[in-house]
Amino acid sequence: MIKIFERKQIADGVFFNKITDRRFKLNRISIDLFTEFDDLPRAECALAAYALSECCELYPDYSRLSAALLDLYDASISTSTVSYCGKRCTEIVGGALDDRYALSGEKLENGLASLMCECLFRPKAKNGAFDEKVTAMMKTELIDSIDSIINDKSQLAARNAAKIAYIGEPDEIPPSGSREEAEKVTAKSAYEAYLKILEASRVEIFASGCSDFHETEEIFTREFSRIKRRCTVEKLCCKPSALKEKAAYAEDLFDMKQAILRMYFKAPEMTDRAANLIFSKIIGGMTTSRFFMNIREKQSLCYYCSAYSDRAKRALVCYAGIEPKNKNRTEEAILAELHDICENGITDEELFRAKLELKNQLKAVYDSAGSLANWFMNQLQDEEILAPEEYSELIDGVTKERVRDAARLYKLDTVYTLSGNNSED
């Protein structure tokens, strides 16, 4: 039984999750609204999220909203739109000191929860549209955010590669949509998207910190009871990404001296979550990984070479910063490391180091209210919700044979390079 975590349904498709740990001085509240990407336009939803943290009816401009947050001992509210398990997540996050640290007995938690509700349920709008001035500012911010990816080559490579690796799937397109879509958003279309999110989303509220969050639960229960809803998202799970019959290869040329290689392996039949996580650590997820030690250090083929497991998509994503001339050799080296684990397995030392790394990371989950909330959010993908220490026990039980079996499920799906020129070895 998980003592610090409690979960209950408070409205149609609305779940209240609370995590209480008295060691914290802060309380964090997040409202995550999940919708299907196909149901709503991406740019409209992204702009709506931006608008929710800019102002509301009660505080009709950003300066007044900021002043209200300052009155709550410099509390904070932010919004974002991200992809989670193949679904759009419109998130509002707030944070404030616990009430016991208020100098004059102010109700900081109550104030934060109430202010978040003002932003979510009563944004600044009139005649079925967001405020035109707010919309114009948020559109500029959204377009700037979309354009800024050109300055981060790692993100640019990830975005371009995703278009190939996840073609025909929700994550083929960035959650904020394209610049062209953003330019077409209006105050009315963004507000319509907002209303649909509020009506049709699956809502996961996470209250984490040192409070018992009784008043916060009452506030959200009351607010959600006032609106009509028809939740269209049943579960927070993602259909595994489809494995291509033949691996796809693509390259984009850009004005850059170095190159970024990304390789996607997929295992749609993967079910051994713990063994898969250990495998991803051993091959490219820690400083003693195969990629780091053999490809970077011994062969000097890259500036960095790492990998991570995308659990929802059943994918292993490998990425490396290289000289363009080393592209083919690095690709072959990555394939060789995977092949070696599939054929010869892993060592006792590799298994020990990976388990130690993961167990240390699991202990660190308790370091902040935010990391605890993220942990339990990710647990909602499973039938059973496990605390970090319970999952640590699963890690302990993984054998070398299970790790090799997990590795053998992966097949090459996509190879993408963002490069400064087309030099070959």
Q: So what's the pLDDT on residue 406?
A: 98
The pLDDT assigned to 139 comes to 97
Model confidence at 238, in pLDDT bands (50, 70, 90)? confident
Give the closest residue to 394 by CA, choosing from 271, 273, 237, 270.
273
Task: Please check whether residue 42 is in contact with residue 173, taking contact to mean a CB–CB distance below 8 angstroms.
Answer: yes
DSSP per residue, 109-127: HHHHHHHHHHHHHS-SEET
The residues spanned by each domain of the chain are: 5-225, 248-419
Pick the more confident residue, 423 or 47: 47
Residue among 194, 159, 186, 189 nearest 83 (CA): 159
Give per-residue pLDDT as tens, 57-108: 999 999 999 999 999 999 999 999 999 999 999 999 999 999 999 999 999 9
Query: Alpha-carbon distance 340 to 404, whole Å?
Result: 10
Confidence class of residue 422 from pLDDT cuts 50, 70 and 90?
low
Predicted local distance difference test score (pLDDT) of residue 1: 41
- Indicate if the pLDDT at residue 380 is higher than 60: yes
**Cα(106)–Cα(109) distance, integer angstroms:** 9
CATH annotation of 248-419: 3.30.830.10
**Using CA atoms, how far apart are residues 324 and 316, in angstroms rounded to an integer?**
23
Is the per-residue pLDDT at 424 higher than 90? Answer: no
Instruction: Look at strands 411-419 and 248-253 and give their pairing.
Output: parallel
Residue 2: predicted pLDDT = 53
CATH number of 5-225: 3.30.830.10
Q: What digits encode the pLDDT tens for the residues 166-209?
A: 999 999 999 999 999 999 999 999 999 999 999 999 999 999 99
pLDDT greater than 50 at residue 366: yes
CB atoms within 10 A of CB 280: 26
> 248-419: same fold as 5-225?
yes
Please give the Cα distance from 364 to 67 (Å, whole number).
34
Q: Is the pLDDT of residue 268 over 60?
A: yes
Average pLDDT across the chain, whole number: 95
Out of 148-152, 232-236, 369-373, least confident range: 232-236
Residue 420's pLDDT is what?
81
Question: Per the structure block, which two tokens stand in for 200?
Answer: 């049709």
pLDDT band, very low/low/confident/very high, at 12 (cuts 50, 70, 90) = very high
What is the structure's pLDDT at 255? 85
Residue bearing the bigger pLDDT, 255 or 223: 223
Please state the pTM of the whole predicted model.
0.93
Q: Which long-range contacts (CB under 8 A, 24 or more apart) does 276-280 make?
A: 276/309, 276/311, 276/406, 277/309, 277/311, 277/358, 277/395, 278/351, 278/354, 278/355, 278/358, 278/395, 278/398, 278/403, 278/406, 279/309, 279/341, 279/403, 279/406, 279/407, 280/307, 280/308, 280/309, 280/316
The proportion of the chain whose per-residue pLDDT surpasses 70, expressed as a percent, equals: 98
CA distances to 199, 233, 346 from 226, rounded to whole Å, are: 11, 20, 57
Dihedral sign of CA atoms 218, 223, 227, 228 in order:
negative
How is residue 215 written in tokens?
Answer: 């008043």
User: Three-class SS of residue 83?
Assistant: strand
Residue that has been written with the tokens 């579960």 in this structure? 235
Confidence of residue 425 (pLDDT cuts 50, 70, 90): very low
What average pLDDT does this structure show over 339-353?
Answer: 98
Q: What is the mean pLDDT of residues 137-157?
A: 95
Tens-digit pLDDT profile for residues 348-357? 999 999 999 9
